[in-house]
Amino acid sequence: MASQLRVVQGGAVLLEPVTADPWEFQADCVEAFVASWRARGFSPVTVENDIGLLERTLTALGRPAWDVTPEDIDRVVGDLALAGRAASTRREYVQIFKGFHRFLQVRKAVEIEAGFGVRLVCPVDEFNASRHVGDESPAQLPPPTPERVAEFFDFLKDRIATARKYAPAARDYAMFRTLYHSGLRSEEASLLDRPDLHFTRGPFGNSTFGSAKAPAPPGPDRVGYRCWTGSTSFCAGSSTTSAGSSPTPRCCLRTSPAEVCIAGRSATVCGI
């Protein structure tokens, strides 16, 4: 028996949303969006904070996310500015909505178009998109004076001597001293290994960093690990970039039952 072909009406199968109530459907979408954060490994604290931010943003917009227009974004950001909110806060409102809207485009676009007749287009554009440089940017502020820097490190030293737990205070001092003397960014400092520090080069030692280095796992061989864990083999604030010919080892405060030292050097006098 010969097979027969016939033409049938084609087209994509449209999925109806679970509910016709836009606010109820948006609440379900928010729950799915939050579940995606947890799936990506966001910490409970981050999830809790971002949920609050997203809810405040959607409340301020006053309409379902798929009906939000660029003018709505302008209105909310403008109201935040008039209320004296910092540029970083306004940026957070825009970014959290942009992420939620992107989630709707990827996961819920078919249901939204079928149920509410809206084709999703992100209302965040080049005219209302958040900028990473605001009025409060550090680039607009003068650098601290030497006297202010000295006060800051004196405060950290006093904090080490009086802290209930020695290790966190010593960790903070080591971190800030390393950043201050070496000029490294925080991410670069976190990637430092012991071979990157050269205590015999120059009057204060020398540190090197390669931007292409792969991150190493935490462990006893990481710079600062022993100091951060309260051990006695790393000196807070030893990494510098000055180069020279006369090696002068640097040492630490003796503010703990266990002396802090650099690679085995005793801490008798603090030259920091």
In the predicted structure, residue 188 carries a pLDDT above the cut 80: no
pLDDT at residue 187, rounded to an integer: 75
Q: How far is CA 207 from CA 137, 185, 195, 249, in A?
A: 28, 13, 9, 13
Q: What does the pLDDT look like over 24-75, one tens digit per residue? A: 999 999 999 999 999 999 988 889 999 999 999 999 999 999 999 999 999 9
Q: What does the pLDDT look like over 87-107, one tens digit per residue? A: 889 999 999 999 999 999 999
Sequence letter at residue 179: L
Virtual torsion, Cα 213, 214, 217, 223, nearest 10 deg: 10
In the predicted structure, residue 253 carries a pLDDT above the cut 80: no
Which range is least confidently modeled, 1-10, 18-27, 93-102? 1-10
pLDDT at residue 122, rounded to an integer: 94
Residue with more model confidence, 167 or 130 = 167
Mean pLDDT of the chain, nearest integer: 73
Token pair 């084709």 in the structure block, residue:
119
Distance CA 63, CA 26 (A): 10
pLDDT at residue 63, rounded to an integer: 95
The predicted model gives 103-131 an average pLDDT of 90
Q: What does the pLDDT look like over 133-154, one tens digit per residue? A: 444 455 566 788 999 999 999 9
pLDDT at residue 170, rounded to an integer: 87
Residue 11 banded pLDDT, cuts 50, 70, 90: low
pTM metric for this prediction: 0.48
Share of the chain above pLDDT 70, in %: 63
